[in-house]
Amino acid sequence: MTARTGKDLPRQKDWPDAVGVLNEHGRSDIVLLCEHASNHMPAEYRQLGLDAGHLQRHIAWDIGAAEVTRLLSARLDAPAFLSGYSRLLIDLNRPLDTPSSIPVLSEDTDIPGNVGIDAAERDRRAKIMFSPFHERVAAHLDRRVAAGRSTRIVTIHSFTPVFLGVARPWHAGVLHDHAADLAEAILSGLRTDAALNVAANVPYVISRDADYAVPVHGDDRGIPAVLVEIRQDLLANRSGIEEWANRLAAALPAHETRTAS
């Protein structure tokens, strides 16, 4: 092993792994993904021309999602895969050929550093940030199939209480395409708390043009896969994060669903 010099360490910290993996050998049939876990941006990108405050907003990451994912991983004994870079550099839950993969406008905010970038820079970001994440997830799923293990995929996200001036009343949503049964089972578990406003396919819907993880890692493989959205104001502090991790751990159905042959 080559020793790292002091000069190497700052760069290593500025360029973390594209994916953080927790509990990869966990016994659960649930595999957790968190594609918007980080708001990290290497210094060379100069915050894409944005003020620092913008990197704390939803446009840069899904607030609270990483913490919920980490707690769920521990509570369920489930493997978890978390992103290492801000979604503003490249969105891990968007196909590479869609405009929102590297956005020039996010919500109502222009992203100056993404305007007019060339194909080489797009390819660089994909190779450093996007492909390693999804290749690691795919390799894990391949090993599960080879071992005959049942698998369900749950991706953890959060959403803003107000989007472009329109209030969103839901506390959480469970998004799905093929995996309607898994989504409904989770919703049924959440609805044991009558005070919760939860629904399927809110505040978004799954689309092959606008989503990556559920269609590619889930539906295309015949693996039940859903995307859980939690409203960000409910994850504003540690107690809220723990409450939602506990809710989801209790709501996830305990039975195993076999992968398609």
Contact 136, 81 (CB under 8 A): yes
* Predicted confidence band of residue 258 (pLDDT cuts 50, 70, 90): very low
Please state whether beta strands 198-200 and 109-110 pair in parallel, antiparallel, or not at all (unpaired): unpaired
Give CA separation, 138 vs 7, 37, 86, 129, 220, in Å.
34, 18, 21, 15, 12
> 191 or 3: which carries more pLDDT confidence?
191
Query: In the predicted model, what is the mean pLDDT of the chain?
Result: 93
Confidence of residue 257 (pLDDT cuts 50, 70, 90): very low
Each residue's pLDDT tens digit, 23-37:
999 999 999 999 999
User: What confidence score (pLDDT) does residue 8 get?
Assistant: 41
pLDDT of residue 2: 33
pLDDT band for position 242 (cuts 50, 70, 90): very high
Rounded-to-integer distance, Cα 139 and Cα 201, Å: 28
pLDDT tens-digit map of 165-224: 899 999 999 999 999 999 999 999 999 999 999 999 999 999 999 999 999 999 999 999
Give 114-134 pLDDT, tens digit per residue. 999 999 999 999 999 999 999
CA distance 91 to 83: 10
pLDDT-derived band at 22, boundaries 50, 70, 90: very high
Q: Determine the average pLDDT of the residues in 44-51.
A: 97
For the domain made up of 8-251, give the CATH fold. Aminopeptidase (3.40.630)
- In this prediction, residue 7 carries a pLDDT of 41
Q: What is the pLDDT of residue 255?
A: 53
Per cent of the chain over pLDDT 90 is 89
**pLDDT reported for residue 164:** 86
Convert the pLDDT of each residue in 92-118 to its tens digit: 999 999 999 999 999 999 999 999 999
> Using alpha carbons only, what angle is made at residue 203 by residues 71 and 37, rounded to the nearest 5 degrees?
35
Phi and psi at residue 193, in whole multiples of 5°?
A: -95, 105
Domain spans in the chain, listed from the N-terminal domain onward: 8-251
Residue in the block written with tokens 């049942």: 150
Q: Is the pLDDT of residue 11 over 60?
A: no
